[in-house]
Each structure stands twice: as structure tokens, then as C-alpha cells.
Amino acid sequence: MPLKDPLGYAWLKHQLHLPAVPLPYESYISSTPGWQDLGIIRRRGWLPAAWPGDRGVDHLEFALKHEGLNLPLLWHAFRHMDIVELAAFIHDRPGGKYTRKAGFLFEWLTGQTLNLDLPLSGNYEPVLDAEKYLCAANRANSRWRVHDNLLGTAAFCPIIERSEGITPWLDWSPAESIRELREHYDPSLFSRATAWLYLMETRSTNEIESDHPSPRRAERFVQVLREAGTHTLVETLSHDMLTDLQGAIIDPQGRVLRGMRNTQNYVGADHGYGNPRVAYPCPPPALASQLLDALPQAALRCDGLHPVIRAAVLAFGFVYIHPFEDGNGRISRYLIHDSYVRDGLTPKGFIFPVSAVILKQLHEYVETLERHSRPIRELADYDFDPMTHELKLHNTTELEPLYRYPDLTHQTAYLMQVTRECADVALVHELDYLDRMDRARKSLRETLDLPDRRLNLLLAIIHQNNGRLSSNKRSSEFSDLTDAEVRDAESHYRQAFGNRTELPA
């Protein structure tokens, strides 16, 4: 499909010489109309009759009408467009819904006020199209006769499209499944499974960060998880409480600065040669503080939406803000649990092993984080101080709207997928495992006289080796058992677990 002149956002980006802000959708004049799917970017060819005109306001209207809402590009475009031309555009069509949206967005994104010398008319129009985006409750803006249904404020506002990974699951709830599991399994078994899930979540969230905490620090984080959802959202996101949470997560004996960082940091690997590999240059400290202050309002704007939506805004919003020197990833995943309990997705005293599921396919999690970090990294202009090796970011203004207005569509779909796997697979497997292990232990205890500790170890080793006691483990741990006793232990295990090659983990 031969593409010619750009339209809409692509025209504004080219003609106004804007920074290389990502465009999920690009429009061009083409002799053959249709879509090209290039992965992250989709291009659409339009026949020449679709050409809107030669002015910036013409392409602004085309973009708002056909290409959705690209807040980072509009943030830049409004700072380069002719304001007189924009005001005249609104004056000529005071009842047009796209002229009114353009005026609202200009003032919302720039903080400037357009001079209007006539009243606007027309029905109130939503800023976001509810058929394309997840929206907040309408807030009437009488000046522009629009309903502000954005998921945040001008300081921080994520955008989430209604994608195939989200829309079909907006009515999904694990409540009935959890209730049925509680009725099916013995209460003590369910309690043990929950205790193990808390411990597994603690281990997994630290392993994602390649951290190996002491048993005491792990116990401290388990307790933190058990207290999730007990405070209001605003209290949880206060600087003081987040700092306390960080203190419970990181090593108290370490030399990590607690609380808001005051230096420019980055996510990446430092190989010790003065030229680290940067995966994500984080927002500068002053901007990070502004974003963190605005995060609660974005989360509150998710009222009425599925709990996974708010959790995604909180977790990914926090980790991209990266306000602390250390502990950001673990806090972000804690905020998922905190949100799920508060919003009633999981009952208090219960947890989905989100980090454990993430850890199984860690590359998917990294790729999900990259959806936002990669464009910022590619646009960032930075170097390192030769004396301190600290990162210096030179084009903060160009990057600012990317930090303020993240597209969290992919991240939300990913969290929905992970949460559903927690409910449908991880919890069921853990309960099934404990139930079968109890049966194996009970029947084996009748024929094999071993202390509980050794009996549990024997069955665990057999389980890890898919139903067999390996020669190495037998010689090192159970050399006192006869061949008949080993066969008997394996037989009791198989009676409980079945002859499956893939057993519950």
C-alpha cells in the first residue's frame, strides 16, 4: 500500500517538528485505502478525498475524530500551534463537538486560557469515546460543554483502550470460584494454602528483583501483605506510608536512601565501566514527586471500573514514576494486592500469587514494562557524569508528557491475564497439591514409621522427581530405607497424585 502525505497526528508531528512521540495510529493519503498492522504501530491509508485541509487545526480535528486521543503529542502540539488560529477555529464553529474538545484539551494540557468572545453551544460531549476507551464518571465542564471522563488530571492521566485482552473480562469476578473452593476443601487446608500463597508471593516478588531477603525480612513482608487493604487509598499512597512500606521491604541495614529520591536515577545494568546499559531513564526527582502526588487522583477516577483496572493504574503508574531509590518494583506489586482487597476482588486475609505467576514467564513481564519504557529510552538524551557516574537527562521537557500520560492498555490486559491465572490455576493447584499430599502422608504413615519431618521431606522429594526417589537423594537422605519401603512410599504417592507427568506445583 503506497503511502503519501500524512494526516492527523502524523501531519502535526511532521509539520510542527514535534519530538518523536509514539503514534499508535498513523494516517496517510494513499491510492489504496486500508490498514497496515506493524505490531505496535497501525497505519491507515485514506483516499485523497479525506484530506482535511492545510491548517494545523484541520489535522487536529481529523486526529480527534479518527485517531483517538494521543495526550503526549497534543501536549507538544498545543505548545507549537498558532493560538490565534485555534481560537478562530473555535469561533467559526462554536457548536462543533471536536472544536469544543480541542479547546478543552488545549486549556487542560497547557494551563492557558483561550479568549472566547461568544458562548459555545451543543450537547455535552464526552472527551473520551466510551466505545474505544475505559472511562471515568462524567464530570461536566460548562465552559466547553464537555464531559471530562479522563482517568486522571492534567498532572497524571493514563489512557486505557478497550482491547481484546480487557473488554471480554470486565464482568469477570473470582468470588464464586473462591466460594466454591472454600466449600469443597477443609477450612484448615484452605488456611494452609493461603499461608503458603503469602510466603510464595513474598519469595517471588523478591526473586523478580534478584533479591534474597533474610527469613526475618521475608516474615516482615508477609505481615505487610496480610495488612493490605486496611487503609484508605489516599493514606496508602501518602509519602509517609509509602516510605514505611519501603522500609519493610528493603534491607534496614543497607545504605539505600529511604523515601523520595533526590537524584536522577534509571533502571538498567551497571557493568562498572562508567557506561551502564539504561533500560529506562526515570522521571527527574521534581517531576516524580508531582506524578506521585497525582497518582491517587487517577486511582480514584477508576471508581466503578473493574478492580484490575485500578490495580494496573496504581502498580504500573507507581513503577514508572519510580519515586524511590530502591523497592519500587516490590511496592508496585504490593499495590496490586492492596487494591484487590480494598476493591473486594479478593477477601481480606487471602492473596492471589501475582508475583509467582509473573515469575514463571518473567520475559512477558519485562516486555510489558518495556511498552512504556522503550519509547522514553529511545527519545531520551542523556549521558553520565564522569566523576559520579550519575545519569544526566538533558531533554526533560520533551519527555515530560510521556511520563505524565502513559498508555497502559497493554499493561492492564497483562495484569488481567495474570490475575485470571492466579484464580483459575494457581490457587486450584495449591489446594489440590496440599490435599493430595495430606492423603499421601496419611496413608504412608500407616506403613512407614518415620518422624513427621522426615516423612514430609520424603514425599516432597518424590514429588519433585515426578513420583520417584532418586538414587542421589536416597543415598544422601534416606539410606536407611529398604527397597520395599521406598517402593511403598512411591506407591502411596502415586495413589494420591496419579500417574501424571505434570503434577501440581
Q: Would you list the DSSP string of 439-489?
A: HHHHHHHTT----HHHHHHHHHHHHHTTS---HHHHHHH-TTS-HHHHHHH
Cell of residue 239, nine digits: 509519602
Collapsing DSSP to helix, strand or coil, 133 comes out as: strand
Q: What is the Cα–Cα distance from 298 to 284, expressed in whole angstroms?
A: 20
Burial label for 218, CB within 10 Å (0-12, 13-18, 19+), is middle
Collapsing DSSP to helix, strand or coil, 289 comes out as: helix
Beta strands in 34-81 (DSSP E): 34-38, 41-46
Collapsing DSSP to helix, strand or coil, 247 comes out as: helix
Determine contact, residues 109/71, Cβ cutoff 8 Å: yes
Quickly count: other Cβ atoms within 10 Å of residue 42's Cβ: 14
Collapsing DSSP to helix, strand or coil, 125 comes out as: strand
Element (H, E) at 388: none
Q: What is the Cα–Cα distance from 264 to 413, expressed in whole angstroms?
A: 30
Q: What is the Cα–Cα distance from 116 to 234, expressed in whole angstroms?
A: 37
- Reference 492, options 434, 432, 437, 431; nearest CA is 437
Which residues, in sequence order, are bridge partners of residue 407?
Answer: 159
- Reference 205, options 191, 224, 229; nearest CA is 224
What counts of helices (H) and strands (E) characterise the chain? Answer: 21, 11
Please tell me the predicted confidence (pLDDT) of residue 253.
Answer: 60
Amino acid residing at 220: R
Q: What is the Cα–Cα distance from 142 to 160, expressed in whole angstroms?
A: 25
Task: Tell me if the pTM is above 0.75.
Answer: yes
Element (H, E) at 141: strand 139-141
Determine contact, residues 51/36, Cβ cutoff 8 Å: no
Q: What is the Cα–Cα distance from 122 to 391, expressed in whole angstroms?
A: 50
Q: What is the Cα–Cα distance from 271 to 71, expressed in whole angstroms?
A: 36
Q: Compute, in degrees rounded to 10, the torsion defined by CA atoms 28, 29, 34, 40.
A: -10
Please tell me the predicted confidence (pLDDT) of residue 231.
Answer: 95
CA dihedral sign, ordered 180, 185, 186, 189 = negative
Q: What is the Cα–Cα distance from 13 to 6, expressed in whole angstroms?
A: 9
Please tell me the predicted confidence (pLDDT) of residue 505.
Answer: 42
Q: What is the Cα–Cα distance from 248 to 246, expressed in whole angstroms?
A: 5
What is the Cα gyration radius of the chain?
A: 28
Q: What is the Cα–Cα distance from 355 to 306, expressed in whole angstroms?
A: 20
Question: pLDDT, tens digit, for every residue of 175-213?
Answer: 888 888 888 888 888 888 888 889 889 999 999 988 888
Determine contact, residues 322/328, Cβ cutoff 8 Å: yes
Q: Which residues of the chain have pLDDT under 50?
A: 1, 500-505
Helices 427-445 & 175-184 angle (0-180, nearest 10):
10
The DSSP secondary-structure symbol of 193 reads: H
Element (H, E) at 176: helix 175-184
Q: What number of residues does the chain have?
A: 505
Spell out the SS3 assignment of 14-27: HHCCCCCCCCCEEE
Determine contact, residues 5/53, Cβ cutoff 8 Å: no
Q: What is the Cα–Cα distance from 438 to 442, expressed in whole angstroms?
A: 6
